[in-house]
Amino acid sequence: MDGATIIARTLAQHEVRFLFTLCGGHISPILVACKQAGIRVVDVRDEATAVFAADAVARLTGGVGVAAVTAGPGVTNTTTAIQNATMAHSPVLLLGGATATMLAGKGALQDIDQIALMRPLVKSAVSTRTLRALGSAVEEALFRSRSGVPGPTFVECPVDLLYPEEVVASWYRKEAGNPLLRLYFSRHVRRIFAGAAPARAVRAVPVLEPHAADVRRTASWLRHAQRPVIVAGSETVALAREVAQVRTALETLGVPVFLAGMARGLMAPPSSPTSGGTIADSPLEFTEPLVIPPKTLNFRHQRREALRDADLVILAGMPFDFRIGYGRHISPRARVVTVGKKADALVRNRKPALAVQADPGRFLQDLGAWVTRQEPSSRKASESLRPYHSWLERLRTAEQARENEIAAQSCENAELSADGADGGDGVNPLLLCRHIDSQMSPDSVVVVDGGDFAAIASYVLRPRRPLSWLDPGVFGTLGVGGGFALAAGLCRPSAEVWLLYGDGAAAWSLAEFDTFVRHGVSVIAVVGLNASWAQIAREQVAVLHDAVGTTLRRTAYHLVAEGYGGRGLLIERPGDISSTLTEARRLASQKIPVLVNVHIRESSFRRGAISM
């Protein structure tokens, strides 16, 4: 037995489907063994992309995403992506190549202290020096990545553990200059291959269950609330197989809900159904606002105002961080319940009335079940528990007003004629996003990677189903797009994958179009090309009166994509949006990755937004 085979069998036993990698001499046996074990090896063009893809697999499936990279610069290139996964609580296993056990610290190629580098970034970082320890180290890392507060783990794999014993022995014999050294090397090889430990059974990861007393207490407060609000973050859907139950619980509670991060799409879109992918004949059709249905519980606009006026706020998987003003957006008179897996995050920046350390999805399910049990059997909880109908109506009115504003601003400076032509430079980004939203299929997965353009998209695009929205998360990491889209295409091969790039962010992972082509992953990438790091430039120019470092070119990204084997399309005026997006969807349906390069103009939509 060799270490690569042990690793592959352990991953297969844990139902790992994909191994993301950029090849290197230190890890070649792992790639070959995983392929032989039936694990799909997906090679990318940047080590960070491998980890981003593993991160996205974890988010989409609830399992562990796995990446393998070579020693030295291969490992160091992953650090940003690893930290992104840490802050997103994504269970990821990173396998790092390493120099041979006998050569560590002696100046071998790409030999650094990788454990010291990785330990502060991950839940566990271990190095093994024997075959017996390797299998248990990988199994333990897989378990730890999912237990407690999920996050990435790192296992260093010395190259002389990965090849067959006879191959490694021949290497050491070749390097031995005298009989005594040969004897010493021979004993070393026997010691590191002394025997593989038997495979351990896959351990079930315990779920952090909420205490019944906390559920009852919250239900009592909910019963007496007049203006309750639930904010559900990414942790709410961490148990991917239970998203339907979480959705049912939220509908049962009947409380207004704001969704954030991966939780977007958990409930039905807040606005009326779109055409379901049919084609709009003219941009003029998008001058009318979307209509908020009368029974909507899912809201996405005016969250700050709702939190300021609420008397009960349940933060499920959402800490008091910058997204809600470190808790200052919530009225000081409101009763606040925080639910999450990380204990210190529940009380950081503001002391809640109740801090519940538990899986947020399970907490909401238990809360919905408790409320249902307390209701008369002849009446539904969603119909009988509600003393806050006027509160819901108030929020719906505010939601509709914001949709009206978006519709009006989508035509700002457009000067549209009847045929869709315009006299300006480029298209309004709001108008573009409304077109994309109208054409997205019901099974679409949306990936956003960028600053200003990606933020605009978050106000307009409506994920149609749970686990169909991927964004960088609270770390604000640019460069996630290629890896996230790759994982989405592999995990959901029948879905449309929309990748919305800011033109600044696009350069980080545009080379992954080569990966999309080689691995048959169809992606519809849309680049919002405004030749600027707009989110930074907006306030930098306004405050410091200088655009230095924020100006880009109107680069022909569509031609770059074609150079990598995909297809490229260009939009320069509003009249071309519908037909070009239609063509992009047609190409993607044929498993051809396509990039739509869109010249967008400046919009006042996010004027005053702070980017730090």
Residue 202 counted as domain residue = no
Burial label, 140 (beta-carbon count in 10 A; 0-12, 13-18, 19+): middle
Q: Are 62 and 92 in contact (CB under 8 A)?
A: no
- Is residue 267 domain-shared with residue 361, that is, in the same domain? yes
Residue 608 counted as domain residue = no
Amino acid at 74: G
- Is residue 47 domain-shared with residue 93, that is, in the same domain? yes
Residue 539 counted as domain residue = yes
- Is residue 101 domain-shared with residue 187, that is, in the same domain? yes
Residue 197 counted as domain residue = no
Q: Which residue has the higher pLDDT, 336 or 608?
A: 336
Binning pLDDT at 50, 70 and 90, where does residue 194 land?
confident
- Is residue 542 domain-shared with residue 467, that is, in the same domain? yes
- Is residue 587 domain-shared with residue 501, that is, in the same domain? yes
Contacts 24+ apart (CB under 8 A), 277-281: 277/439, 277/440, 277/441, 277/442, 277/585, 278/438, 279/439, 279/578, 279/579, 279/582, 280/435, 280/438, 280/578, 281/578
Q: Which residue has the higher pLDDT, 201 or 573?
A: 573
Looking at 192, 220, 236, which one is the last position of a domain? Answer: 192
- Is residue 398 domain-shared with residue 450, that is, in the same domain? no
- Is residue 338 domain-shared with residue 441, that is, in the same domain? no
Q: Which residue has the higher pLDDT, 387 or 227?
A: 227
Structural domain harbouring 276: 212-402
Binning pLDDT at 50, 70 and 90, where does residue 284 land?
very low
In this model, does residue 282 exceed pLDDT 80? Answer: no
Domains held by the chain: number: 3
- Is residue 13 domain-shared with residue 81, that is, in the same domain? yes
Q: Are 19 and 486 in contact (CB under 8 A)?
A: no
CATH of the domain at 26: 3.40.50.970
- Is residue 317 domain-shared with residue 256, that is, in the same domain? yes
- Is residue 298 domain-shared with residue 443, that is, in the same domain? no
pTM of the model: 0.92
Residue 282 counted as domain residue = yes
Looking at 402, 422, 437, which one is the last position of a domain? Answer: 402
Binning pLDDT at 50, 70 and 90, where does residue 434 land?
very high
- Is residue 387 domain-shared with residue 415, that is, in the same domain? no
Locate 135 and state its tokens.
């299998």
Residue 138 counted as domain residue = yes
Looking at 346, 367, 402, which one is the last position of a domain? Answer: 402
- Report the DSSP beta bridge partners of residue 527: 501, 597
Residue 382 counted as domain residue = yes
In this model, does residue 418 exceed pLDDT 80? Answer: no
In this model, does residue 250 exceed pLDDT 70? Answer: yes
- Is residue 180 domain-shared with residue 109, that is, in the same domain? yes
